[in-house]
Chains A and B, each alone.
Chain A
Amino acid sequence: MMTINDYLKLFDEGKLTPEELLESCCSKIDPDLNAFITVTKERARNAIGSVDGKIRGIPVAVKDNINVKGVPTTCGSKILKGFIPPYSATVVERIEKEGGLLIGKTNLDEFAMGSSTENSHFGLTKNPFDRERVPGGSSGGSAVAVATGSAIIALGSDTGGSVRQPASFCGLVGLKPTYGRVSRYGLVAFASSLDQIGIIGRNAMDVGILLVIIAGKDPLDSTSVTVDVQDYTDLDGSLEGIKIGIPEEYFIDIDEDVLEAVIEIKEILQDVGVSFPSVSLPTSEFVIPTYQIISYAEASSNLARYDGVRYGLYHSGVNFSDEIRKTRNDGFLSEVKRRILVGSFVLSSQAIGEYYEKALTIRSLIKKEFKDALDKVDYLLTPTTPSPAFKIGERFDDPLKVHLSDRLTAGANLAGIPAVSAPAGMSRNNLPIGYQLMGRPFDEKGLLSIVHQVEKIKPFELLGE
């Protein structure tokens, strides 16, 4: 499988030019899949050759909730109509400084709220493996862009699984780094204490190459940390003797195909000397309710700024209350409205003790449970989702089903630990299946090393290869 380093080698040898690669990527953009909201081919072309960095000439797609100066940010919403950010996110600046070419802004569930990329003002995105199915979400556009080869690698954001779940539905590697590892400056906030910018790539090496670039302390993000950035491309360290826990709670109500695929990954790793003690995470059943309360509460506050006064959609009215009501009623889709309503409720003085404060307490229990488990073992192995990609419309606008596929991923966000999803195989009906690894804070290198070595033993066939 081609890595970014292979492309750079082809450039150096004169066998391929960045212009040709960009052209080839753009030609693979399929309007029917609807992965992009904005294609910035001109911007990418103009950037070719301007800097000589670690990813010079490599086309990168960016989820459309991450700001790129001068290019509209929509967040998949009508409410940001006409908004063009006057600044770039720190991650975007770092990518451009290393010669990355920004090829476009990808589709997402409105404000990253969803798991299917169906809840977008700009239409739904389809799964390239089966166009009747969703690509996962909310970073569905980024996953489809990479899966189809219209970008070599992409940025997403992961609040409860929004990078890992679409990566697993599209046969890709999706990394959610440790909270604070990557600056959030310029990422439009959904739930600030859970949001983390992540990477979707075709292999562990590519993800590692991009992580080296975007990781590290940013003075503009007070929650980013000073912990040393490791060499995430040095992925061949021996796995012998490491311990990977199998939390039993994460194997309940899982599709048979998924179970089999994950067990196969376990067997591959056993062969290279990894041991698999069983561990227990009894608070798992509280992950989704806790995640819902905290993320909705923060979202209700984060989305309050869209009032039409300074930017975006605006409807006039008889007074401010009337204007804001009209603007927000027209600007947001129903899933976002539902979360704002519930979020406002759980913070209200009559409900905060019963909901929000309780959720904070449970969150700290969940966090502690992960820490205790990861004191005993080095990593945790689970499926990424209980089933492969579901059908378009199957869970659309159904508040009871919307979090079904976040159940195995949101725990890492609540605990702030790093997690990765990587291809485990294909289901009987030819849909990609993903396995998830979670690790100790700042051990992204360890996670990517395991994925990298599994790739070598069990290569995954990509669509666009």
Chain B
Amino acid sequence: MEEFKPRMGIEVHAQLDTTTKLFCSCPVAFGEEPNTNVCPICLGLPGVLPVLNKRAVELAMRVAFALNCHLHKESRFARKNYFYPDLPKGYQITQFKFPLATSGSIKVDEKIIRIKRLHLEEEAAKLIHLGDKTFVDYNRAGVPLVEIVTEPDITSAVMAVDYLKKLQKILQFTGASNAVMARGEFRCEPNISVSCEKGKLGTRTEIKNLNSFRAVKRALKYEIKRQKKILQEGGTIKQETMRFVEKAGVTRSTRSKEEASDYRYFPEPDLPPLLIKEEWMEKVKRSIPTLPEERKKRYIELGLNEEDAIIIANSKKASNLFDETIQQLDEPLEISKWIIREFRAHNEPNISPTSLASLVKMVIQGSISRIIGSKVFSMMVRTGRTPEEIVKEKSLLKISDKEALTSVVKEVFAENPEEFKDFQNGKSKLIRFFIGRVMKKTKGRANPKEVGRIISEYEQKH
């Protein structure tokens, strides 16, 4: 039996995290009233001209560097012509023959996936179908996108998802894109072919409508199976665009006439070639934040175990907080625990490194207990106040004063005469019971070590 091997390439569109659109100064925003962030330029009124957003170029350059691409000092814009109601000018400004960057690579699952090209282009408008009517919201029209295309180097659905996850992290860490899939900021269109001849590619299909990593995995697995089955039965694969039907978990032919379309690409005459000077390149290179892999390495060197290092390095927010906090308090191990337990449990809230550093410091110095510390953290998140303020206001500092603690201990003995008798008669296990009672009475503020010392004095007296 011949063995059919799948080969996949993926085209990703990611929204660049700029404040304004690619060719006009309209704000980029999510979820606003339809057609409020529009102007003559992004509406394609007669007579308007595009002006390139430099920030978008810089963000795309960051991605190109992070993917080890060859960045071209001269790239060009082109027009992709087709009629659709979501396309205000009747063409999309994109890059075609001369993209911003080519020939990059990324390591996924210990294998190299080659990046074929990376280019800038503008987003189309959004169509809203209501009843038998279609409405157009141009807020998204002209939003900057970066398109990243791989060579067909991906050999399994799992690898495809691992690639996407890694690419998403890169986009987020470089600050290029928020890359939130659910908001359409990160979209992928994989193409798949299966073949039994080594080195030869079969006829490929493309899959659209993938809205989550889970969907990607399911769709690819299904499509590989579908193609294998056809080939095993002696059939041939039709080159076409498939649509993933989430509920049924199957891919279906879109039967669109799109295959036949001719986009009549030609150089965009309204924009001069995009020239990138050496100094600009260097400046952008320097501005790129370090990527998860490098961060993980550094964390392990700081003494974190690999698991913790990965968890922190994989979240941009967590690792930024970690990096900034250890600048202020050189206790990486302790800080990493707080980030992993508390910061993540609270859904990565906005807290300042200064606050976290002083909270951890209080715990290490023993001025508050770990349990109290955890409560303070919650209050910091809820109120946005500093740990010092919270501790002071709620009188949470530990009670270590012997006299004060002794009187509480005595109270507890008086309240539990039976247990106290047993304790004095040698049932020393009961010390835990008493410490617990004291802690409860002092709402956790008592220094448990000190309490234990005081209680055991009573045992010895006997």
Contact = CB atoms under 8 A, between A and B. Distances in A.
B75 to A, nearest CB: 15
Interface of A is mostly: loop
Nearest to B43: A310
A301 B46 contact: no
B81 A85 contact: no
Given A188-B47, A301-B90, A304-B83, A347 B270 contact: no
B48 A185 contact: yes
Interface string B216-228: 0000000000000
B426 interface: no
A73 B264 contact: no
A307 B86 CA distance: 11
Given A67-B47, A309-B136, A301 B272 contact: no
B31 interface: no
A178 to B, nearest CB: 15
Interface stretch (B49-57, B105-113, B405-413): B49-57
A305 B270 contact: no
Interface in A28-66: 66
Contacts of A80: 46
Contacts of A85: 40, 45-47
A245 interface: no
A307 B83 CA distance: 8
Interface stretch (A218-226, A364-372, A440-448): A218-226
A347 B88 contact: no
Among A66, A187, A220, A309, max chain B CB count under 10 A is at: A309
Contacts of B79: 301
Interface in A301-320: 301, 303-307, 309-311, 320
Contacts of A189: 46-47, 270
B84 interface: yes
Given A301-B79, A347-B266, A220 B51 contact: yes
Interface in B414-435: none
Nearest to B50: A222
A191 B264 CA distance: 16
Nearest to B44: A305
Interface string B3-23: 000000000000000000000
B89 interface: yes
A297 B81 CA distance: 11
A193 interface: yes
Given A304-B89, A347-B81, A222 B49 contact: yes
B163 interface: no
B266 A297 contact: yes
A344 B264 contact: yes
A297 B50 CA distance: 19
A223 B50 CA distance: 10
Nearest to A184: B49
B266 A356 contact: yes
Size category, B interface: 20 to 34
B138 to A, nearest CB: 8
A221 B47 CA distance: 11
A184 B84 CA distance: 26
Given A223-B270, A309-B85, A348 B264 contact: yes
B271 interface: yes
A4 interface: no
B2 interface: no
Contacts of B45: 85-87, 310-311
Interface string B245-281: 0000000000000000010111001111000000000
A183 B40 CA distance: 17
Contacts of A301: 79, 81, 90-91, 264, 266
Nearest to B271: A222
B262 A349 contact: yes
Interface in A273-325: 297-298, 300-301, 303-307, 309-311, 320-321, 324
Contacts of B136: 309
Among A87, A219, A220, A304, max chain B CB count under 10 A is at: A304
B272 A298 contact: no
A214 B58 CA distance: 33
Contacts of A185: 47-49
Q: List 5 A-B pairs, minimum CB-CB distance, nearest first.
A: A304-B90, A347-B264, A192-B269, A193-B269, A188-B46
Given A89-B47, A220-B49, A223-B271, 13 more contacts: A73-B47, A185-B47, A185-B49, A189-B270, A219-B51, A223-B272, A304-B83, A304-B89, A305-B46, A307-B90, A347-B265, A348-B264, A349-B264
27 contacts: A66-B47, A67-B46, A73-B46, A80-B46, A85-B40, A85-B45, A85-B46, A86-B45, A87-B40, A185-B49, A192-B270, A193-B269, A222-B272, A298-B269, A300-B81, A301-B81, A301-B264, A303-B90, A304-B90, A304-B91, A305-B90, A306-B90, A307-B85, A309-B136, A344-B264, A347-B81, A349-B264
